[in-house]
Amino acid sequence: MPTFPGKGFLIPIICTLLCTPGSLSQLTWTNIGPGGGGWLSAITVVNDQANTVYVGCDVGGIYKSTDNGRTWTIRNTGLSDYHVQDIAYDPHHSDTLYVATRGGVFKSTDGGDHWQLKRSGFPPENPYNYSAPVSDIAIDPVHPEILYAGIGITRAGYEQDSSHWQDVDLKGTIFKSLDGGESWIPLRETGITPTAMIYSLAIDPKTTNILYAATDSGVYKSKDAGQHWQAINHGLPDHLHGMALVVDPLDTNILYVTMWAKPGSASWQGGVYKSTDGGQSWEAKNNGLPQDMGSEYGFTANYPVMVIDPQHPQILYVGNTPWTPDPGVYKTIDGGDHWTWISRAAEDNNPNVDLGWITEHGLSVKCLAISPTNPALLYFGTSVHLFQSSNGGQNWEQAYSRPTGQGSWQGNGLETTCVQDIAIDPTNSDRVYAGYWDMGFLKSTDGGISFRRITEGMGDGDGDEDDYTSNTFSIIVDPDNPAIVYAAAGWWEQNSGGVVKSTDHGETWTPLVDGLPNATIWSIALDPASPVSARTMYAASYAHGIYKTTNGGQTWTQMTTTGLDDNNLQVRKIVVDANDSTILYAGIEVKEIDEGDSSNTVQGGLYRFTTESNRWTRLDSGQLSVWDIKTVPGHPEIIYTAVSSEYDHTLLTTFPGGVHKSIDGGQSWTRMNTGFGNEENLDVVALAVHPAHPETLYAVTADAPYHDRSSGRGIFKTADGGAHWQPINNGLGVLTFNAITLDPANPSILYAGSSGNGLFKAIDLEQE
């Protein structure tokens, strides 16, 4: 196990009150959770005495450590895109950093404390797609004001057949800056195939006018600082799909490149290739590397990341992507002639890797880094882990979490997960449940200081349709018997899932799927007026409509779809009216009838069902995708909805998102968006109403992916029933969120679930 100082450290809940006349109090959020759990996409170790380390996440932004990876802080101030693809620093001024994102290049001059977008010379930002995603940044080591940025969409080195990549107009382009990123010049039609995706850039450290680029159209060399490029592919596989490229720092005629092996190929055609003549010819160097092929990417041996020892360049490391067999990092000490597997996690392989609390995910390497001052210090990241070795890969310690005993874990600041729902035991505020994307169900018994992942009874983690361990989308604690917990679990990658039940505070689970179709359950609801022994509940079965149980989930039957078009069953939220349990509300998202055909759109909307009518009736006016619905106890005339901004391709009309409110039971609606800023791309996805002060509400905003700038704006509060909103973002990292919940026993305590930085907790002093 790794050793960290302060093993019993308790994360403080720091709350400050910053009041001005007529304003709401400001609260401060504290990041909590078990650590890890999300896709790590970039690592850089800085050339300084502290071995400062930066890590990038695919949705969480930037994390920094100044104590060799023991603790981390989120450094996202100024970032408007959280999908990090590369991190580079000025070798002469290590506090000057550049981050490559799918939204462009960001620069910091204060060690990551603040970031500025540097797009001068790039195309205008595109609100609906990627205009110029940057995959890799290379800095001239002699003249660090000279930078190169390659255009590409990468994930662990590549992402094939991306429809969003196909829409990028700048394929085959490298941007160059002569002034430290303040302005950029596009290098186009230079000899690189105009449809190429740039994966890796490298500069000859001795003759910095010489550059190399690895692309999905081959490897290229420039001898004039990027003005002209020539293909150098002699000896490489015919498919020419290069990934990572490095230059020997001592003998710069020696190069290494990794080549992609297409799943299901007749022969492997991947691995490491070496040149000893500046790229004029190449030779495969794969002795000891797995050469497995499969029908899927996850089972084909590919090596999208590679680093070279700066002091002993005969030593190199590559990362293998498959979970099995023999996943992880491989090392050579003889310039690639022989490779050795150095990341053994399985018990039957003499393990040298401490997995931490995430044990069922394999070591698929997404990023890899070596210290420039201490080459025995290495890091590698996976889709869920971060590992560190201080002895050249002989042993690896996890660097994302701390064990606290009895199977619980406390985060060290590297929170990289997406949280979909949060629930708190109404009789015990210390008992907190969280539903995660990819990590499933987690539980805390100390108010969020530490967490345990619980899967017993949910399946074996094999990914089959009867496995409910990977994602938890909705959680309900029975208000009259809090030992009973219900959860909607399943998959987001495919329409598959069901409902599970626990009778021991979430320790063990039983699937309740009799009568339910195998489909993603985004939302469940419980009728509190029904008997505890035979609860009436509802499940929103995606693409199948609403299902009902009157026996606590033992059996389910489909409710009527009268009033709902058969194509309009994309239900994301189901709610029982707080004042009358014979009334239900359903929030439905926009759907394209023919996938990929945006010209034929079905509107979503807000629908109400009454037992008396036995039909669904649309209530809203222009609410296309409804993500959350809140009714107010004691005020049956008030309804709030959380709505995302949508463009209806059939009507050729944009419908604004935000918070919508009705004060007449849904007969008429008003958008309550004052304080959110521009309504364009405003996506509000979850609401919480204070039970004692119903004029006080909280709202969280999200982002629709695949565009240059995140539209997430963080968390907002209103004290006047939605007439005015104010951001309450102190302490947050990303500004994209999925969930917000108040502690029912102490509503001044708030929990928020982010899309990239895990869980946050705060105390609203105004509500104490």
The domain that holds 119 is classified in CATH as 2.130.10.10
Query: How far is Cα 168 from Cα 128, in angstroms, rounded to an integer?
Result: 11
* DSSP line for 211-244: EEEEETTEEEEESSTTSS-EE--TTS-TT--EEE
Q: Per the domain annotation, does 156 fall within a domain?
A: yes
Residue 635, judged by CB atoms within 10 A of its CB (0-12, 13-18, 19+), counts as middle
Residue 747 preceded by cis peptide, ω within 30 = no
Four-CA torsion 289, 291, 295, 299, nearest 10 degrees? -20
At 599 the pLDDT is 54
Q: Per the domain annotation, does 93 fall within a domain?
A: yes
The neighbour count for residue 198, using CB atoms within 10 Å, is 29
Query: What are 351-378's pLDDT values in tens digits?
Result: 999 999 999 888 999 999 999 999 999 9
For residue 452, list its beta bridge partners: 443
Q: Per the domain annotation, does 69 fall within a domain?
A: no
Q: Which two tokens stand for residue 360?
A: 């069922």
Nearest to 549 by CA among 499, 480, 474: 499
Could you tell me the mean pLDDT of each successive run of 10 residues in the chain, 768 residues long?
31 33 67 96 93 95 96 98 97 97 97 98 91 96 98 62 65 96 96 95 98 97 98 96 97 97 83 98 97 74 96 97 87 98 90 95 94 97 97 98 95 98 98 97 98 91 76 97 96 90 97 95 97 97 94 96 79 96 94 56 87 93 92 97 88 90 96 95 97 97 90 97 98 98 97 98 89
Query: How far is Cα 125 from Cα 599, in angstroms, rounded to an integer?
Result: 24
Q: Per the domain annotation, does 375 fall within a domain?
A: no
Q: Which two tokens stand for residue 381?
A: 């990241």
- Rg from Cα positions in the chain: 26
Q: Per the domain annotation, does 289 fall within a domain?
A: no
Query: How far is Cα 320 from Cα 326, in angstroms, rounded to an integer?
Result: 9
The neighbour count for residue 166, using CB atoms within 10 Å, is 11
Q: Which two tokens stand for residue 578?
A: 């707080």
Which SS3 state, helix, strand or coil, does residue 628 take? Answer: strand
Query: How far is Cα 418 from Cα 492, in angstroms, rounded to an integer?
Result: 12
Q: What's 512's DSSP letter?
A: -
Nearest to 439 by CA among 35, 742, 761, 733: 35
For residue 220, list its beta bridge partners: 213, 231
Tell me whether strands 211-215 and 218-222 are parallel, antiparallel or unpaired: antiparallel
User: CB–CB of 715/737 below 8 Å?
Assistant: yes
Query: How far is Cα 370 from Cα 375, in angstroms, rounded to an integer?
Result: 6
Alpha helices in 80-162 (DSSP H): none
Q: What angle do CA 467, 468, 469 make, to 5 degrees?
A: 100
Which SS3 state, helix, strand or coil, does residue 96 take? Answer: coil
At 298 the pLDDT is 63
Q: Is the pTM of this model over 0.85?
A: yes
Tokens 């240059």 found at = 708
For residue 629, list its beta bridge partners: 641
User: CB–CB of 135/171 below 8 Å?
Assistant: no
Q: Which two tokens stand for residue 122?
A: 């790039």
Domain count, the chain: 1
Four-CA torsion 338, 343, 347, 348, nearest 10 degrees? -10
Tell me whether strands 658-662 and 670-671 are parallel, antiparallel or unpaired: antiparallel
Q: What's 544's DSSP letter?
A: T
Query: How far is Cα 399 from Cα 2, in angstroms, rounded to an integer?
Result: 8
At position 377, the amino acid (one-letter code) is L
Q: Per the domain annotation, does 134 fall within a domain?
A: yes
Phi, psi of 84 (to 5 degrees): -85, 130
Q: Per the domain annotation, does 139 fall within a domain?
A: yes
710 Cβ neighbours under 8 A, 6+ residues apart: 80, 81, 82, 103, 703, 734, 735, 736
Domain holding 100, by residue range, is 77-231
408 Cβ neighbours under 8 A, 6+ residues apart: 34, 444, 445, 446, 450, 451, 452
Q: Per the domain annotation, does 387 fall within a domain?
A: no
Tokens 């194509």 found at = 567
Q: 263 to each of 157, 289, 320, 329, 341, how far by Cα in Å?
A: 15, 16, 14, 20, 22
Nearest to 559 by CA among 608, 492, 592: 608
For residue 762, list its beta bridge partners: 750
